[in-house]
Chains A and B, each alone.
Chain A
Amino acid sequence: MRLDKRRLILILLSVFILGLTLITAQKQENKDENVVADFSVSDVPADDGSGLMLSWKPLDRSKRIIEYRVYRGIKPDQLFFLETIQVNPKSGVASDVMYYYDNSASELSDPSFPSKLKLEKGQPENGILYRQPPRDLKFTATLLEHFQMISLSKRNDFYRKSKEVIEDPEADEISSYAALKANQQTVLGMLKPGQKYYYTVVAVDERQRLLPNSPVLDGTPVPNAPDESPALHSVVMEDTGELRFEWEYPIYKGALNTYRIWQVANMTPETWQTIKATSPNLEGMGRLIAQGAVGSGSLPNYTKVDMGEEIASFKDASFVMELVDYYGASSLSPLSQPRVLTSSALPPRTDFSVEDKPNDKGDRLTVVWDNPIVFIVKTTSLNKDNTRLRVNYQLNKTDNQEVDDIWFSFSDPETGEELSTIKEFYRDNSIILKLPKGYDFKKGVKSAIRMSGKPEIPQDYVIEQDLEYDPSMMALLPGKALYRNGRDVSRIYNVVYRRYMHSPAWRMIMRNTSFDNSLDVSIPYGSNAQKLVQGISYAEGDSLIMHLAGPAGVERKARPLVSGERKAPVTLMSHEVDFTWDAENEVLVRTSLFPDRAKEMHEKSIADAQARISELEAQKEGADEATLAQITAEITRQQGILKVYNENKIVQDALNTRSNGSRLRKVLKASDDYMRRQAFMVVKTDSKGLFVESLPQMENEKYIYHTPISNWFDQNKWVTLFTTLLFFGIVVAFVTMAKRGKEFYIRPIAGLQEIDNAIGRATEMGRPMLYCMGNGSISDVATIASMGILSLVAKRAAEYDTKLIVPCYDFLVMPIAQEIVREAHYAVGRPDTYDRNNVFYLTNVQFAYVAGVNGIMIRERMATNFFMGMFAAEALLMTETGNAVGSVQIAGTDAITQIPFFITTCDYTLIGEELYAASAYLNREPMLLGTLKAQDYFKFFIFSIVIVGAILSSFQITGLTTLLPEK
């Protein structure tokens, strides 16, 4: 068969179609492979109905995926970017399933978001994936039904930039809101129970390509019963007649509201597990022993009940705990059978103090419950016989506690014979322990640690640890026990609680081990305002449209726009803010951002209190004694409110302030004052029912509240200040001497002496010079020093009419360099030769700068190169090129890492401080020479201190060493 033209075309066409089919099939296969598999959306268990859980199978490692992007929407055809989960493209994801929990606040509008709907990169016009939701509150209003929204703004912006929006200006009782525009806030959203949300996941590969998205699935969060408490611990205190309970919270505790402890019939834990599975009603089968608030797990997790004589009957009792969430759903803990103990088993009560953290801006306090604590962390053998060990220790103390010396005593655990005692006078967290020759270190060593310091540490205060041989590590390691004055405290915790002035509840801050003696508590200055979004409004034609979120859903309202009213879309929030706490009457005063509303609120509070008092007075008649007492107490409370609103100085002062700006400043200050005051309590506990609360810090039967203090001077810098002033004094003295005509000898610096020769060489050769100021900015001292040298070099260059090129790395340095060179030309009377284009900005990208400078050097065939200033890795690249071109090179830098390269490749190098001295050396100005001389004398002073410090330290006198700051 002949292969004619037609057949050939047919064959080629067939091959082409086959190839195309194969490629398409391959692509189709690839497309399927690029979609994450097993994608599912489900409700987060044991939560309050504000979370959904996404899961999917990650793509194979060969796909080189760098991240997975999650998209969410309230419609299946419009999903917005929500979050990115970064993965390592080299190692891929080790797990078979990836999870993403959408159960926290996510951004719905932010100033950084696109202003309008924007499709995701690579999406077709009818695509479903969008970038973040648009920064358009009209659009955000459509999400109001589906999200619980919170506005997050700078506090100053919220107080000063909020405008008032009135719901209905013609209503008898004005209902108004504080309103912020989209660019003044971030709107956060939480999922709402019962609403439907759509999700998809997209993988992004190393080439930044968005692979096809997974199928869009929906999910609806629903409130669930809380997880059970992992453990309830109960203790019967025989001697005091107390029943004590302590419990643990489940991981998800955000929705927990109350606890109830029940006594149930005696049974085995297995039987209880069977009964529990049937969701029993404890009302009928148990006795309620205790109940209280949980506050989402932040309130104390312990309680005690005084049972008096009845206590004996509880020795064999069984208890369970019921945790109830805000929706009324509950869970039951495992069965607890009590330990029977006496009060001697209780840990000692903590005597704690509160210190202001020194040298800070006033946002931290330290709660201290013990002396400084030193403990051994590890040991390392330093010789073959294991008789020389490096012992690393850790010292935990507060900033106000000083430890002078630490004594480590080591003894044989079997015989008690003392092996070694080491006095640690310089604390470097390490000591060297020498064991007697032939000592079998596998039997371990017992250590006892004592210390001295300020405030005085009791002499009998001792911490002991057993160093035991660990065969796997082949080293002596500290055992788990930590003995404080003979008592093992390794399982005792110090739990720190705090309470605010306006709240009676103690809230947990942190649970600490007994290896810590204090806790730094952060009390930040208020900087952000977080407000619930109650609605969104915007103008449409002549109407103001309001979407108001209420318990029944979102209501859309419209009213005519009032002249001068804000037309831009805004979020609507409560205009009421906390103002001040009246400690005497225990009343929290609130006010409004807007002066008229503030007056209304003030008057209403007074009127309400008066009305309530009249009502209560009327109820007094015929009331029994107990009710009468209650009424009287309530009347007293209401009178307190009246007194606060009528007499409190802060309230009156704000009320009488005419300018709203000044009033709000006072409101902010007053609210900061009471919000930043906190009282503390430390609870010592074994976390199993043996707990002891510290005695409250009180004065005149009221809690002592602490506020951190902002310090004006950093006490660690006294020595720095002193030496700076001393140096200042020496400089002034030498400058004065120089002014009076005293001549100073300055050692010759070859690099500087050769500058004239190098310029002369360029002039003779008729080739230009390059002056490079390095990569420093205008704030670098090296750059400023370099400017002084540039001034001199530019003058000589102008004098000899030699071209000087100055390529600048920093755009702020450039105009100064231009000015310096211009001045130099004027100074020598050659303004005509000044060319502004010879001093120019090159780039501030390190290696692009190198490429630029090297190019200039080669093109212009530089005769002389100056490298003066701050340099990094680019230094060698430039100087080697200069060397290859045959230029004379003079360099100077204070960058230690680059000095060796300059020395190797340049003809002359100014090392470190010589760069700073150059200006004085070259100009020979008495004032500058004076500072140079002062520098030399001060260096001598420093060396003296170094030598004296070394000698004193050798004799264990560390006063001078500790006096000097470490950093």
Chain B
Amino acid sequence: MKKTIPLLIVILGGLVWVAWAFSPHYVLQEVFYNQFYLPWAYASSSFGMLLGVISLTMMHTNKIKRRAPKWQYSYFFFGSFLITCIAGFVGGIQKGSLFMWMFENVQMPMSATMFSLLAFYMASAAYKAFRARSPEATVLLVAAIVVMLAQVPLGVKISRHLPAISQWILDVPNLASKRGIMLGVGLGSVATSLKILLGIERSYLGGD
């Protein structure tokens, strides 16, 4: 019973969504989706967020209690969490508020810093990928050099055919392999969805 009822809910819900995908009718697109589902999803997701907050609080409390490695940082979590909450609840989250100031001047620069690290990691990954250790890696290296050169003015200086070759690499072998993967992914998605609808796949219920 513990799993049968959730399974039934999932199967019924899944069937409704199948109908939604195939039917443009007012009842499904407007009444069900816009008037029922969207407000319900917005409302319930806030409660879901509460689960996350509880989980984080429990984990950090536990860390402090057990004096786990670097447990001092957990105080930063509680401090930041409280400041952000108070700023949001008291001053609001509109433009110009403390909350938004913190978002724009603390979180955004930190995210941008993390993102900018990606450039170095990419260079490192490219170095690993382009080492011509096998014939396949050599092909990869040559293709990469052609595509990269074609992106800069120097490429056209070297050969005026370089942009066309680069475009061909992107449009034909690259696109063909991408579409091959996408086809597999699409079929896999449908198969997984069918498995869920048929009740074969139950991992989302917590275990087999």
With A823-B207, A904-B128 already in contact, the answer to whether A935 and B188 are too (CB < 8 A) is yes
Given known contacts A877-B118, A894-B185, A728 and B194 CB-to-CB distance under 8 angstroms = yes
The answer to whether B48 touches A714, judged by C-beta atoms less than 8 angstroms apart, is: no
A525 to B183 CA separation, bound complex (whole angstroms): 39
A824–B207 Cα distance when bound, in Å, is: 7
What chain B residues lie within 8 Å of A880 (beta carbons)?
A: 121, 124-125
Given contacts A784-B204, A791-B208, A931-B195, contact A913 B185 (CB under 8 A): yes
Complex Cα distance A877/B118, Å? 6
**Which residues of chain A come closer than 8 Å to B59, judged between CB atoms?**
837, 840
User: In whole angstroms, what is the CA distance A880 to B107 when docked?
Assistant: 23
Residue contact B24 to A778, C-beta cutoff 8 Å: no
**CA distance in complex: A279, B126 (Å):** 80
Query: Within B159-208, which residues are at the interface with A (CB < 8 Å)?
Result: 178, 181-185, 187-196, 198, 200-201, 203-208
Q: Is B154 an interface residue (CB 8 A)?
A: no
| Known contacts A784-B196, A942-B183; is-contact A814 B26 (Cβ 8 Å) | no
Q: Is A121 located at the chain interface by the 8 A CB criterion? A: yes
| Given A814-B55, A877-B117; A361-B183 close (CB under 8 Å) | no
Residues of chain A within 8 A of B25, CB atoms compared: 361-362, 710-712
Q: Could you tell me the distance between the alpha carbons of A720 and B190 in the complex, rounded to whole angstroms? A: 12
Q: Is A97 an interface residue (CB 8 A)?
A: no
B5 within 8 A of A: no
Chain A 187-231 near chain B by CB (<8 Å), digits 1 or 0: 000000000000000000000100000000000000000000000
Query: Quick check: is A16 within 8 A (CB to CB) of the other chain?
Result: no
Say whether A928 contacts B55, CB under 8 Å: no
Query: Which of B21, B51, B69, B189 contacts A859, CB < 8 Å?
Result: B69
B111 CB contact (under 8 Å) in A728, A818, A845: A845
Q: Say yes or no: A784 contacts B203, CB within 8 Å.
A: yes
Residues of chain B within 8 A of A267, CB atoms compared: none
Contact of A787 among B100, B121, B187, B203 (CB under 8 A): B203
- Residues in B with CB closer than 8 Å to A818 are 206
Chain B residues lying within 8 Å of A837, measured Cβ to Cβ, are 58-59, 62
- Set of chain B residues within 8 Å of A731, measured between Cβ atoms: 191, 194-195, 198
Whether A876 contacts B203 in the complex (CB less than 8 A), given A847-B110, A931-B195, comes out as no
Asked if A901 lies at the interface with its beta carbon under 8 angstroms from chain B, I say yes
- How far apart are the CA atoms of A359 and B25 in the complex, in Å? 8
Find out whether the CB atom of A360 lies under 8 angstroms from the CB atom of B195.
no
- A886-901 to B contact mask, C-beta < 8 Å, 1/0: 0000000010100111
Q: Which residues of B contact A904 (CB under 8 A)?
A: 125-126, 128-129
Give the contacting residue for A714; candidates B22, B69, B95; CB below 8 A. B22
Please tell me if A848 contacts chain B, counting CB pairs below 8 Å.
yes
Chain A residues within 8 Å of B107, by CB: 845, 848
**Cross-chain pair count, CB within 8 angstroms:** 201
Complex alpha-carbon distance, A727 and B191, angstroms: 8
Interface size, chain A (Cβ < 8 Å): 84
Assembly CA distance A164 to B173 (angstroms) = 71
Contact indicator A915/B24 (Cβ below 8 Å): no
Q: For the complex formed, measure the closest distance between the CB of B132 and the CB atoms of chain A, giving whole angstroms.
A: 14
**Of B111, B125, B184, B185, the contact of A876 (CB 8 Å cutoff):** B125
Q: A794-813 vs B: 1/0 string, CB under 8 Å?
A: 00000000000000100110
Interchain CB contact under 8 A, A847 and B207: no
- For residue A522, CB closer than 8 A to chain B, the reply is no
B153 within 8 A of A: no
CA of A873 to CA of B124, assembled, Å? 15
**With contact pairs A791-B207, A877-B114 given, residues A714 and B24 touching in the complex (Cβ less than 8 Å):** yes
Q: Which A residues are CB-close (under 8 A) to B124?
A: 880
Instruction: State the CA gap A873–B111 with chains docked (Å).
Output: 12
- CB-CB under 8 A from B208, the residues of chain A are 791, 823, 827, 923
Question: Quick check: is B158 within 8 A (CB to CB) of the other chain?
Answer: no
Contacts of A911 in B (CB 8 A): 181
Partner of B184, one of A850, A912, A927: A912
Contact A781 B207 (CB under 8 A): no
Is B22 a contact partner of A931 (Cβ separation < 8 A)?
no
Bound-state Cα–Cα, A823 to B193, Å: 23
In the complex the two chains form, what is the Cα distance from A231 to B8 in whole Å?
Answer: 69
Shortest beta-carbon distance from A597 to chain B in Å: 28
User: Does A85 sit within 8 A of B, measured CB to CB?
Assistant: no
Q: B69 — which chain A residues lie within 8 A by C-beta?
A: 859
A919 is an interface residue with CB less than 8 A from chain B: yes
What mask results when residues 69 to 111 of chain B are scored 1 for a CB within 8 Å of chain A, else 0?
1100000000000000000000000011000110000010011
A811 engages B29 (CB within 8 Å) = no
Interface string of A919-940 (1 = CB under 8 A from B): 1000100011001101100110
> Once bound together, how far apart are the Cα atoms of A911 and B22, in whole Å?
30
Query: With an 8 A cutoff between CB atoms, is A179 at the interface?
Result: no
Inter-subunit contact A928/B195 (CB<8 Å): yes
Contacts of A823 in B (CB 8 A): 206-208
Is the pair A816, B204 in contact by a Cβ cutoff of 8 Å?
Answer: yes
In the complex, whether A717 has a CB less than 8 A from a CB of chain B is yes
Contacts of B58 in A (CB 8 A): 836-837, 840
Nearest residue, chain A, Cβ from B50:
A811
A846 contacts B111, CB within 8 Å?
yes
- 8 Å CB contact of B203 from A363, A788, A814, A917: A788
Closest partner residue, chain A, to B120 (CB atom): A880
Assess whether B135 is interfacial by the CB under 8 Å rule: no
Taking CB atoms, residues of chain B closer than 8 Å to A808 are: 52, 55
- B111 contacts across to A, CB distance below 8 A: 845-848
Q: In the assembled complex, which residues on chain A have CB atoms less than 8 Å from the CB atom of B129?
A: 900, 903-904
Contact string against B for A residues 223-256, beta-carbon threshold 8 Å, 1 for contact and 0 otherwise: 0000000000000000000000000000000000
Contact indicator A820/B207 (Cβ below 8 Å) = yes
Give the complex CA separation of A961 and B56 in angstroms. 53
Chain A residues near B22 (CB-CB < 8 A): 713-714, 717, 720-721
Determine which of A208, A896, A905, A942 lies in contact with B125 in the assembled complex, contact meaning CB atoms within 8 Å. A905
Q: Does A785 contact B (CB under 8 A)?
A: yes
Binary CB contact string for chain B from 118 to 145 against chain A (1 if under 8 A, 0 otherwise): 1001101110110000000000000000
Asked whether, in the complex, the Cβ of A916 is within 8 Å of the Cβ of B192, the reply is yes
**With an 8 A cutoff between CB atoms, is A822 at the interface?**
yes
A851: interface (CB < 8 Å): yes
- Report whether B70 and A819 are in contact in the complex, using a CB–CB cutoff of 8 Å: no
Instruction: Give A788's nearest chain B residue, CB to CB.
Output: B203
Q: B185 — which chain A residues lie within 8 A by C-beta?
A: 894, 896, 912-913, 916
CA distance in complex: A824, B206 (Å): 9
Q: Which of A361, A811, A815, A913 contacts B49 (CB 8 A)?
A: A811
Instruction: Report how far A682 CA is from B142 CA in the complex, Å.
Output: 62
A787-B204, A876-B121, A939-B183 given; A361·B26 CB < 8 A: yes
Q: Give the distance to chain A from B188, nearest Cβ to Cβ, in Å.
A: 3
13 additional contacts (CB under 8 A) given A714-B22, A781-B189, A896-B181: A208-B96, A711-B25, A713-B22, A778-B204, A785-B188, A814-B52, A819-B206, A836-B58, A841-B55, A876-B125, A899-B181, A912-B182, A928-B201
Sample 25 A-B pairs with CB under 8 A, ordered by A number.
Answer: A363-B26, A525-B26, A525-B30, A710-B26, A711-B24, A713-B22, A714-B23, A720-B22, A724-B190, A727-B191, A784-B203, A788-B201, A816-B206, A827-B208, A837-B58, A840-B59, A846-B111, A894-B188, A901-B122, A913-B181, A928-B201, A931-B194, A931-B195, A931-B200, A935-B191
* Closest A-B pairs by Cβ, 6 of them: A819-B206, A823-B207, A811-B52, A916-B188, A913-B184, A847-B114
Name A's B-contacting residues (CB within 8 A). 121, 208, 359-363, 525, 710-714, 717, 720-721, 724, 727-728, 731, 735, 778, 781, 784-785, 787-788, 790-791, 808, 811-812, 814-816, 818-820, 822-824, 827, 836-837, 840-842, 844-848, 850-851, 859, 873, 876-877, 880, 894, 896, 899-901, 903-905, 911-913, 915-917, 919, 923, 927-928, 931-932, 934-935, 938-939, 942
Binding site for A on B (CB under 8 A): 21-27, 29-30, 45, 48-49, 51-53, 55-56, 58-59, 62, 69-70, 95-96, 100-101, 107, 110-111, 114-115, 117-118, 121-122, 124-126, 128-129, 178, 181-185, 187-196, 198, 200-201, 203-208
